[in-house]
Chains A and B, each alone.
Chain A
Amino acid sequence: MPQAILALEDGRTFTGESFGATGTSVGEACFNTSMTGYQEVLTDPSYRGQIVAMTYPLIGNYGTNEADNESDIPHVRGFVVNELSTVASCYRNEKPLSEYLSDHNIIGIQRIDTRALTKHLRTRGAMRAALTTEAKSAEEAIEMAKNAAGMEGSDFVKEVSTEKGYHWDPDGTESGLWQIPNVSTGVSAERGPLPPVKHKIVAYDLGVKRNILRSLRQHGFDVEVVGARTSAKDVLAKNPDGVFFSNGPGDPSALDYVHSEMRELIGKKPIFAICLGHQVLAHALGGSTYKLKFGHRGGNQPVKDLRSGKVAITSQNHGFAVDPESLPAHVKVTHINLNDNSVEGIRHRNEPAFSVQYHPEAAPGPHDASYFFQEFSDLIDSTK
């Protein structure tokens, strides 16, 4: 196996074995603490511009398959694992992870101390990094890291948002709930049935995950997906029952062109937003966001719903957060992260608009928070 180097801008380097593609890639190094779901992580457009390290040390165990993709291609700039499995053991496996990454030209590195890396990022903060099989020396790799663009102020949405609008899953073949066979109930392994369409909405694609679209459809939404630069006027012209803003990569403050359109839509249409969309809502309402030291990335983050007092274990992937101090009085914080008390959900007190920082659609991660989609449906009902 050829050697690969992961170099951080502050001079720390990790030398390991290369897998997947070869070459050089730069981005922001971050870590994800999910023990399962590496394929969903790879293909989540929110990871655009990032070199992702998995804290769970054994990765690739169950291979990859088409059904678990959250978008057409992997978006990470590089993938860092402690040990890549030599075998993909699962009836669902279609392609081993290494081959999948090679096919998509993603550089991987294994046999580095990912815990040491995690601790480094935890104490020093997420930072620029280079993952390379080409650098002749550690110093050269560090230079590559230093020359990378930082995450703050970066607009990666433009790289991942759809160019052309499209109608999500018009014939309902993609969105049914993924199921396992159940002899007692007679359920086969095919996707589950869908409810009839109840609401037609427009979804801003800031880097949308497929499971968000599937979840929307599962809750009776017919979804027309539009690009990030779609104007409010165009959206209103379609007269949807509601507007949705998706997750996505990069710094929410760099997205003025989305803030302004969302501001136009608030009060005119019920709005629901997830992740980057949530941060955009904060901006659109006059609030601001800040960069977290090393972000929340994983599937075990406890979030308290301040309305019910209930705690959900949530799937998260965000490097920025909404500043609660910045929010105007008419915006209420509805959810907080119990680990660091950061804002995880907000709601407009007077207008039908709410958002959530984490991922109710899961994929990967727990399903505890899927109630948000129903809340959106109820919200639309209540405003009709």
Chain B
Amino acid sequence: MPKDTSIQKILLIGAGPIVIGQGCEFDYSGVQACKALQEEGYTVVLVNSNPATIMTDPEFAARTYIEPITPEVVEKIIIAEKPDALLPTLGGQTALNTAMSLVENGALEKHGVKLIGANAEAIEKGEDRLLFKEAMLKIGLDVPHSGVAHTMAEAEVIAKEIGTFPLIIRPAYTLGGSGGGIAYNREEFENIVTHGLDLSPVTEVLVEESLLGWKEYEMEVMRDHADNCVVICSIENFDPMGVHTGDSITVAPAQTLSDREYQIMRDASFAIIREIGVETGGSNIQFSTDPKTGRMIVIEMNPRVSRSSALASKATGFPIAKIAAKLAVGYTLDELPNDITKETPASFEPTIDYCVVKLPRFTFEKFPAADATLTTQMKAVGEAMAIGRTFKESMQKALRSLETGHSGFSFDGKDPIDVFDENGVLDEAKLEQRISIPTAERIYYLPIAMRAGWSIDRIFELCAIDRWFLANLQEIVTAGENLATLDLRRAKELGFSDVQIALARGTDQDTVRAERKAAGIIPTYRLVDTCAAEFEAATPYFYSTYGDEDESRPSDKRKIMILGGGPNRIGQGIEFDYCCVHAAFALKDLGFETIMVNSNPETVSTDYDTSDKLFFEPLTLEDVLNIYENEDCWGAIVQFGGQTPLNLAADLKRHGVNVIGTSPESIEKAEDREFFIGLLNKLDLKQAPGGTATSKEGAIEVASKIGFPVLVRPSFVLGGRAMMIVYNNEELAHYMDTAVEASPDRPVLVDRFLQDAIEIDVDCISDGETTVVGAIMEHIEQAGVHSGDSACVIPSFSLSDAMLAEITKAAKSLAKELEVIGLMNIQFAVQEGNLYVIEVNPRASRTVPFVSKTIGQPLAKYAAQVMSGERTLKEIGFTDEVIPPHIAVKEAVFPFAKFPGVDTTLSPEMKSTGEVMGIDSDLGLAYAKSQMASGAPLPTGGNLFVSVKDSDKEKVAPIAKQFHDLGFKIHTTAGTAKILKAAGVPITTLHKLHEGRRPTVIDMLKNGEITLIINTPSTDESGRLDGMHIRTTALTQRVPVISTMRGGDASLLAISSLQKGDFGVKPLQDFHE
């Protein structure tokens, strides 16, 4: 069937902000879909609130709406654009849920918009637990014994029927299984069910038989209009059932299924996609098998592209999202060519001749209070993937791709030591516990058990990880124990890194590298070709292994290597991938051959279409140098991928790599305290007083000189890792003891904390001659909240022209002094009319995409062009700051809902996973849209609860007054009440929680009577606990919490704008006409 010509204009819904369970894989799938549909001549209308995505670059759609993804807003877009069809299957759960709302409220029918890619009935059948179960039973497939409950009482009846603990609880329609869990006893059962019912938008949970310890598999399936079905990839989870697949180590293809079992699973997958009625596109189906009997259970399906389909695409080279988009408009699989071979059709099943390992990346260090046990609720924020010829090689590569300090599977001096006592004696009971409880760290304890001589059976009994995986890990350990004398080639084949080998041999990695190269032991690069070499492949997508033949065919063009950011984590995510992708596009345009190196399967940078050559490899010195040398690159870009490549910069340069753009020395110098002070003095710029410390005593000495509160942080980090405001010696000592490893190379910075200052972010670009400010961003939250967690506004709304000029001048002089070529980000604070420099980073920043979209100028592209030396800013035509006539607000999005019990207060340590943008000609509406997009829309009336710390009480009074004037009823507790009364604000006083008297604000929150909260964290203990309880309850009740006074001001503006009437929507293309 050829493409559908009855439709011309297609609305595509993106996934919105990056959150746990919905990462940048949907940018990857969205970009593929946009490209595929535009290629077919369709007019694409896109809505996505996330400005950090490549898909929201104006060239990927005819009309790009950076607007909140809510049914109301999408309907406005439909009215404005009159699309013929809506494609909801490429934007994750967000797009699917939004599309379903538009079906249910009749909007699609009313405006004559056809749903393509999946029909409403199929979505419902796939997503609704009960309907899904019925469908599975209808086609004779096995499901766990279970039942659906809408109340606690119903849940209890089901639990009784099943009869035994543990029980699994899964709420309906939540992201990443959010709110689910495993209950081992009645109390846990009640807690999890209650929480799950709360979180489910339809107040529904599934209670089911536990399959803990069973094997888990995934099948990525595609179907076309003609009912042709193919499996793109099978995936086997290393972690058995009980751990969310997003949190599991996963391996492709399935390793321990015999063909008979595999074919039964394949048949079942097709039966499911047909029964559910997914007419076209990709689906992900999860199975579990009993390792003892082979009984196979259907767990769930996603009737859309997913995180796993992105992984499957990267693992096989088959572009699922691109093909899904083409199937949605009517093509059949056999009409589409396989991109990789060009000669064979897409109607085939990829066969691979390597093994892929994906490891999840967690950030529990950001949330010390969170439960780090892995359960059915996803907690990972990113992932790394590695490809090798054996599981052993892939696993070791994946572990070093993860960038958690490990250089492979053990033998890197990084084994955990907490299972040994002070005499080095192994605490077996503790080790057993570490192995039996699934956590992010479990993999690092396995080698300890193996070295202690524990049998595979003993380990298996503890963790139920399949013996095949354990046996392979055991082989690494056995080889590792003789690593000093092991044949070098054999060691490399087993995936050992030069760092591991060096450690075993008591030498350094440079020596191992030299010896290895002298012996001719260098990696061979292999094509990811979808066909196990059966056909010649056209697409340059490579991985390394130690084999006989290299397939990389280096050209003699001038090549620039772009180092990506590796696995996403808080502080280093999609924004950096955005910059890397732009670099690839820009350099390709200038005629360079671009070589992308990255290990993150969720990204657009690892789409083989993005660069001329893609190397899916760990971002370590060894792996990067190998590629650089093999390709004989002309230069490398390290300033776009976040901290990961920056950390390599100096070593790369030492090995002769031509690091283009700002020199690694300049980048390092900006982190050097002494140099920095000198630099600021020279430029007559101010900095908050401070010093550096390499010990606890040193830190206390600095603090006593400059006075508390102080801001402490380690050097060389992104995302404010371990950054804190401390108020006294005791806190400071505790920080130095526990939070950081200070050393002379990496000292701790101690600065006076600038209270109540306005924080400013500046992104600028320089070619060495000209420096242009991209934007001056004014933060909503005052200094002290990490810039990644603050809302910020372009253009600045409260600073004087004189201050803006001072900021611009400072930025330009800093760029000049640091000899910046490329991008630079500076953070300033303005306190009482004084400008302070907080930090200077001569590299791409998190805000580059936000700025680029706001001002309509692709900064990262320009930066890549000037770094290549081929263009000056003058030649590009970008010499003056663009002050947009509209206003854009960036707001951060947080993962608190995934970490029950974690305080939601903002601090200098970054905690947000993603961002949204609100854009409008009115500041209030731009802010209102940003809040709407972040999932915490501001109310236009109702009950406001106000409770702030003492130092904020004076400031909150006028804010409360204005809320009152806007029609809000103000509720507060005794302390704040006094001030508000005195200011003439009519209020109702509620009891404080710790007083024990009812009703309290918690009761009102739970009854849905509170619409908005203003709360700043109290400094005294009882107030602090009360505040935390209020904020976490507000989180589960989805009531927005304003936690800063400036946030209060912004909210007032927003609400008053919302009260004035309806808001409009406008595509990016019209903003930048």
- In the bound complex, residues from chain A placing their C-beta under 8 Å from that of B351 are 33-35, 55-56, 298-300
Check if A366 is an interface residue, CB within 8 A of chain B: yes
Q: Are the C-beta atoms of A92 and B258 separated by less than 8 Å? A: yes
Check if B295 is an interface residue, CB within 8 A of chain A: yes
Contact of B259 among A68, A83, A91, A301 (CB under 8 A): A68
Contact of A311 among B143, B291, B347 (CB under 8 A): B347
Q: Are the C-beta atoms of B226 and A309 separated by less than 8 Å? A: yes
Q: Are the C-beta atoms of A92 and B390 separated by less than 8 Å? A: no
Q: Are the C-beta atoms of B390 and A298 separated by less than 8 Å? A: no
Q: Write the nearest CB–CB distance from A150 to chain B, whole angstroms.
A: 22
Q: Are the C-beta atoms of A338 and B259 separated by less than 8 Å? A: no
Contact of A180 among B264, B526, B534, B536 (CB under 8 A): B264
Q: Are the C-beta atoms of B295 and A181 separated by less than 8 Å? A: yes
Q: Are the C-beta atoms of A310 and B549 separated by less than 8 Å? A: no
- In the bound complex, residues from chain A placing their C-beta under 8 Å from that of B263 are 362, 364-367
Contact of B334 among A85, A86, A118, A304 (CB under 8 A): A304
**How many Å lie between the Cα of A311 and that of B291 in the bound state?**
34
**How many Å lie between the Cα of A86 and that of B293 in the bound state?**
22
Check if B468 is an interface residue, CB within 8 A of chain A: yes
Q: Could you give, for residues 224-236 of chain A, a 1 whenever the CB lies within 8 Å of some chain B CB and a 0 otherwise?
A: 0000000000000
A residues 159-209 touching B (CB-CB < 8 Å): 178, 180-185, 189
B residues 336-394 touching A (CB-CB < 8 Å): 343-345, 347-355, 389-391
- In the bound complex, residues from chain B placing their C-beta under 8 Å from that of A73 are none
Check if B296 is an interface residue, CB within 8 A of chain A: yes
Q: Which stretch, A108-116, A269-277, A279-287, A317-325, touches the partner chain B?
A: A108-116
Q: Write the nearest CB–CB distance from A382 to chain B, whole angstroms.
A: 25
- In the bound complex, residues from chain B placing their C-beta under 8 Å from that of A115 are 353, 389, 526, 532-533, 547, 549
Q: Are the C-beta atoms of B549 and A119 separated by less than 8 Å? A: yes
Contact of B348 among A61, A68, A90, A301 (CB under 8 A): A301
Q: Are the C-beta atoms of B391 and A310 separated by less than 8 Å? A: no
Contact of B294 among A34, A86, A189 (CB under 8 A): A189
**How many Å lie between the Cα of A71 and that of B774 in the bound state?**
72
User: Are A185 and B230 also in contact (CB < 8 A) when A33-B531, A300-B349, A313-B348 are?
Assistant: no
Check if B4 is an interface residue, CB within 8 A of chain A: no
Q: Are the C-beta atoms of B391 and A58 separated by less than 8 Å? A: yes
Q: Could you give, for residues 94-105 of chain A, a 1 whenever the CB lies within 8 Å of some chain B CB and a 0 otherwise?
A: 000000000000
**How many Å lie between the Cα of A115 and that of B295 in the bound state?**
35
| Complex: chain A residue closest to B292, CB-CB | A91
How many positions in chain A have a CB within 8 Å of any CB in the partner chain? 60
Q: Are the C-beta atoms of A87 and B467 separated by less than 8 Å? A: yes
Contact of A181 among B293, B353, B548 (CB under 8 A): B293
- Taking residues whose C-beta sits less than 8 angstroms from the other chain, chain B's interface range is 35 or more
**How many Å lie between the Cα of A299 and that of B350 in the bound state?**
10
Check if B115 is an interface residue, CB within 8 A of chain A: no
**How many Å lie between the Cα of A227 and that of B549 in the bound state?**
46
Contact of B228 among A31, A87, A310 (CB under 8 A): A310
Q: Write the nearest CB–CB distance from A353 to chain B, whole angstroms.
A: 27
B residues 306-347 touching A (CB-CB < 8 Å): 332-334, 343-345, 347
Check if A376 is an interface residue, CB within 8 A of chain B: no
**Interface SS of chain A: helix, strand, loop or mixed?**
loop
- In the bound complex, residues from chain B placing their C-beta under 8 Å from that of A352 are none
Contact of B390 among A58, A91, A178, A304 (CB under 8 A): A58
Check if B267 is an interface residue, CB within 8 A of chain A: yes
Check if B688 is an interface residue, CB within 8 A of chain A: no
Q: Are the C-beta atoms of B256 and A62 separated by less than 8 Å? A: yes
Check if B62 is an interface residue, CB within 8 A of chain A: no
Q: Are the C-beta atoms of B347 and A55 separated by less than 8 Å? A: no
**How many Å lie between the Cα of A237 and that of B136 in the bound state?**
49
Contact of A182 among B142, B261, B266 (CB under 8 A): B142
Check if B997 is an interface residue, CB within 8 A of chain A: no
| Complex: chain A residue closest to B227, CB-CB | A310
**How many Å lie between the Cα of A169 and that of B140 in the bound state?**
28
Q: Are the C-beta atoms of B294 and A91 separated by less than 8 Å? A: yes
Contact of A91 among B291, B334, B353 (CB under 8 A): B291
Interface centre among B141, B293, B349 (most CB of A within 10 A): B349
Check if A24 is an interface residue, CB within 8 A of chain B: no
Check if A89 is an interface residue, CB within 8 A of chain B: yes
Q: Are the C-beta atoms of B256 and A116 separated by less than 8 Å? A: no
**How many Å lie between the Cα of A364 and that of B533 in the bound state?**
20
Check if B255 is an interface residue, CB within 8 A of chain A: yes
Check if A122 is an interface residue, CB within 8 A of chain B: yes
Contact of A82 among B145, B259, B390, B549 (CB under 8 A): B390
Q: Are the C-beta atoms of A36 and B262 separated by less than 8 Å? A: yes
User: Are A85 and B468 also in contact (CB < 8 A) when A37-B259, A116-B549, A185-B142 are?
Assistant: yes
Q: Write the nearest CB–CB distance from A79 to chain B, whole angstroms.
A: 16
**How many Å lie between the Cα of A300 and that of B529 in the bound state?**
14
- In the bound complex, residues from chain A placing their C-beta under 8 Å from that of B333 are 311
User: Are A182 and B348 also in contact (CB < 8 A) when A36-B258, A55-B533 are?
Assistant: no
Q: Write the nearest CB–CB distance from B542 to chain A, whole angstroms.
A: 13
Q: Are the C-beta atoms of A55 and B532 separated by less than 8 Å? A: yes
**How many Å lie between the Cα of A57 and that of B531 in the bound state?**
13
**How many Å lie between the Cα of A276 and that of B436 in the bound state?**
53
User: Are A55 and B353 also in contact (CB < 8 A) when A36-B262, A83-B390 are?
Assistant: yes
- In the bound complex, residues from chain B placing their C-beta under 8 Å from that of A122 are 533-536
Check if B253 is an interface residue, CB within 8 A of chain A: yes
Q: Write the nearest CB–CB distance from A83 to chain B, whole angstroms.
A: 5
Q: Are the C-beta atoms of B548 and A338 separated by less than 8 Å? A: no
- In the bound complex, residues from chain B placing their C-beta under 8 Å from that of A114 are 353
Q: Are the C-beta atoms of A300 and B353 separated by less than 8 Å? A: no
Q: Are the C-beta atoms of A300 and B260 separated by less than 8 Å? A: no
**How many Å lie between the Cα of A114 and that of B547 in the bound state?**
9
User: Are A366 and B228 also in contact (CB < 8 A) when A68-B260, A113-B548, A301-B348 are?
Assistant: no
**How many Å lie between the Cα of A370 and that of B965 in the bound state?**
75
Q: Are the C-beta atoms of B390 and A302 separated by less than 8 Å? A: no
Q: Are the C-beta atoms of B140 and A182 separated by less than 8 Å? A: yes
Given A91-B292, A299-B349, 18 additional A-B pairs, CB 8 A: A35-B253, A36-B259, A56-B352, A57-B389, A58-B355, A67-B260, A82-B390, A83-B389, A89-B466, A113-B548, A116-B549, A122-B534, A178-B260, A180-B293, A180-B294, A184-B143, A189-B293, A311-B332
* 29 A-B pairs (CB sep. < 8 Å): A33-B532, A34-B259, A35-B352, A37-B258, A56-B353, A61-B255, A65-B258, A67-B260, A85-B468, A89-B468, A89-B471, A90-B257, A91-B291, A92-B258, A115-B353, A115-B549, A116-B549, A118-B353, A118-B533, A122-B534, A178-B260, A180-B261, A181-B295, A300-B349, A301-B348, A339-B345, A362-B263, A363-B260, A366-B349
| A binding-site residues for B, Cβ under 8 Å | 14, 31, 33-37, 39-40, 55-58, 61-62, 65, 67-68, 82-83, 85-87, 89-92, 113-116, 118-119, 122, 178, 180-185, 189, 298-302, 304, 309-311, 313, 338-339, 362-367
Counting from the closest, the 4 A-B pairs by CB-CB distance are: A37-B259, A87-B471, A364-B259, A89-B468
